[in-house]
């Protein structure tokens, strides 16, 4: 399957877009009924973490949405930190992240480590848990999903990246 988009992913994205349109129209109708002015929300795109990571190239993140929690971010390193900090709160995933330290590596450096030594742009997630953030958006999201989240068995189907439009 690899990088190919599945029918399920397309249907999931379609449902998300329909929900966004419905929410905007509901807000406009509500404003008309109340006689108040409708303020156009900032233009944002909500992208599920389940998509091919190439979609994130040359995009600017503004937040991570995990369930109902919106976490403001300004960089892809912030996205990485927000997601890993969130999953690290769960004991089972914390243990799996700790187990992965020193085992998830690229050609030149570790992605997860117990120290920041040897990392170009380390981000501290927890005591003795650092992640390498010296990647482009596509590479970073690929490593996060394929090499960390899938291995820790974290269900990221309810995780979205909010991008500037």
pLDDT of residue 42: 67
Dump strand ranges (E) for 15-60: 44-48
CB atoms within 10 A of CB 34: 9
Q: Could you tell me which residues come within 8 angstroms of residue 65 by beta carbon, excluding any fewer than 6 positions away?
A: 46, 71, 159, 160, 161, 162
pLDDT of residue 45: 87
**pLDDT < 50 regions, the chain:** 1-2
């Amino acid at each position: 399957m690899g990088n190919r988009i599945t029918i399920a992913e397309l249907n999931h994205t379609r449902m998300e877009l329909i929900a966004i349109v419905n929410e905007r129209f509901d807000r406009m109708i509500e404003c008309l009924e109340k006689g108040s002015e409708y303020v156009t929300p900032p233009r944002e795109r909500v992208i599920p973490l389940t998509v091919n990571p190439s979609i994130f190239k040359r995009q600017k993140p503004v937040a991570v949405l995990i369930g109902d929690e919106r976490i403001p971010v300004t960089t892809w390193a912030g996205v990485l930190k927000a997601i890993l900090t969130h999953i690290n709160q769960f004991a089972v995933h914390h243990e799996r992240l700790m187990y992965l330290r020193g085992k998830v590596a690229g050609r030149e450096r570790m992605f997860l480590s117990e120290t920041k030594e040897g990392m170009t742009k380390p981000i501290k997630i927890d005591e003795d848990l650092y992640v390498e953030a010296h990647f482009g958006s596509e590479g970073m999201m690929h490593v996060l999903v394929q090499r960390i989240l899938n291995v820790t068995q974290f269900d990221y189907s309810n995780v979205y990246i909010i991008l500037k439009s």
